[in-house]
Structure 1
Amino acid sequence: MNNLNFRFHADRRQLGGMLMVTGFCAVIHPIANIVNAFNADGALNTDPSTIPFWGMVGAFSLFLNGVASVIVGFAACTMDSSHIIVTTVLTAINQLCWIPYITDMTNVGKMASSDPAKQGLVPAGHNPTETDVKFVASIGVIAIACYGFAYVGSLSFMAFGLHSMNTGKYDQRPSGYYKGRLTFYSLVLTIGGGAQLALGAYSAAEFGTGALEEGRIRAAMLIVNYPVVSILVGSIQVLHGLWGIARSFGVHSGPRDNIYQLSLAGQWLIVLCFQDIMQLAYFPLNVMTPMAAGIAAISFGINMMPAYLDAKMRNTPEEIPEGYYIEVPQKDVPSISFPLQEQPIQVSTHDIDSVTKVKEEHWT
């Protein structure tokens, strides 16, 4: 495969770099759960019939995928080295990343069906009704699905893209491929933002608009201490999701229109500062501190993927032409040469006399 051109190596290294970043998020996110599996209550995690056991299995699955993705991505990005067997195994074990999300959905459903006074979604100080608990639980399931699709999806997308490069399927990712994915991930962002917006609005209506002194509302990775903050962050995410859908249908100015990427960078900063730090910092004695790094990691995919896919959609041909990734040898064209031969200059006596006569007439 010596005839691969520089674009192939550049794109493969790009995928390797993105795989390394998303893999690092998968390393950071489950660390708190792994630590909890070995604490004083860790023995409870040895019973396969319990949710904590499968939470531990899911945490190890994420951690394994994260470490493998960082190593494979680093090799592709910095050493331009990648092998089909390695990427085949990686794309296969990526599917194990769904274990913690399925476990979390099951756990939220179990909380919703428990006594409203004993569940862990709405504190008892708010005097929650069964409707309150079920609403928060439903928002939690939606949030897990959206953040899970974006989180695991970003990891799998980069791994499978690297695998496609290794298997020689260069022409399977034209602009239309990224367009469809942009529509999907923008829709995921819209629904995820809508879930946070709805949770914030419901909390403000039922429990107050200020700081929730009776305790936080928790719907999976969506924590509400300040309902207004949840409304703000959710609204921004919904707007960016709808914007991404519009761009996937051609509402943009071409390859150099990068305003969407800049705006999404601002959204990501807002998520880190408000959804993550501000909402969690309100807890006394920092009891939710271990969640902060996890929320930062799990929220990366839902903020990053629309930006990445939009850029690829605008800068990739509608159809991958011949020679885009493979150097096409030039056809043999017969060359035509015109040899130069030195020719002696013939000057006659008559020519010399004519020139002399012209000079004499000019000066007289």
Structure 2
Amino acid sequence: MKSLTSKAFVQFILIQFCYIYSSTDNLFLMKQTIFLLILFLFLSGCSKHNEEAKIEIAADEAYPRWIIKDSLHTTQTSGIAFIGEKEQIKYFLLADDNGVLHRFSIESDTLFELKKIAFNENVKVYLDTFPKPDFEEISFDKKNNKVFLSIEGTSYGKINPARKEANVKWYAGIYELQFKDDDLFSDTIVSIQKLHFEPEEKFFEHVKSNIAFEGFTFDDDYFYAGLEGFQEQKIFADSTFIYIINRATKKIIKQINTKELGIFTICGLYSPENKTLLGIDRNNKKLFKINFSDQMDISSFAFKEIKTRVPNYPAIGYVASLESITMDNDNNIYMIDDPWTTYFVPAPDILNKMDKKTAEHFNNFIPIIYKFKLN
């Protein structure tokens, strides 16, 4: 059922019926009318996110594929951003959770190239102050030629091997990167600046060590930051938050709890158009879509389960951790599996069914990329 009537209007009608029947002696009829109106109000509220919501995608037959070129590969890739196409070659930026960026290209749909991005001395010195420069989401604003990077605050790493307590909120957050000569193909980052959103205490309220914003995207008017989730004793809860931020003022205008949407985790966000989000719920293996009204309320919601398969072995599944999403100029969606080292490698009896190179890729935790056509 579509929600065509606002709560305020239904409440007005309810009051009118109460007034009409209060002047009669038909108490049963009045109670029945009130009950039906309350039931209608409840059903309207429950259905408000389902209006005309749908996602139609088709898996590319040439995918999934390993992100490797000869011996060069990425490690724990958590972010991907499409940055453009030149001479029929599609280019992307990749972000790894070990503090490394790559430029990644795809030619003829299957030929991969990787180029490591360098940091100038100032950026190196800055990142060296982090216990661990844990890169997550990366996104590219083509209109303004800006690159944004989400960094997770981790309280341990090369300068803090004892895992002593650290204020992870000093490090966690959203950063703006600048390439040399403002050219994404210069392959060198010359500046990194942290963005500050207000109220800051609200933005960082649920940030912890290894829990921050694994989803970040934008449209013309808003930033959208998705908290990975809530975790206790290494178990994730059944909901998380999406923060909607005014781009001009950098003030949070809305905080959305995803519980009623059934979204457990947010590990990638992309906005294909204004007031629309595509995202990944890693723990549920789902692609979700949210449309917002002009008032930035959720007007529709849909999701699609993603089936993860071993490259070249479509009949064999494995434990995947999809953690990034982007879209190219041809409506193709790309997702990357950031190998969860505890569960990524299949059991020996499953590995024995595969060729030697595939088994090596699993044992070396090579990330896997997926491609879908959005219809």
TM-score, normalisation: structure 1: 0.25
Higher RCO structure (Cα 8 Å, ≥6 apart) = 1
Point out the structure with the larger helix share: 1
TM-score, normalisation: structure 2: 0.25
CA radius of gyration, larger in: 1
Point out the structure with the larger strand share: 2
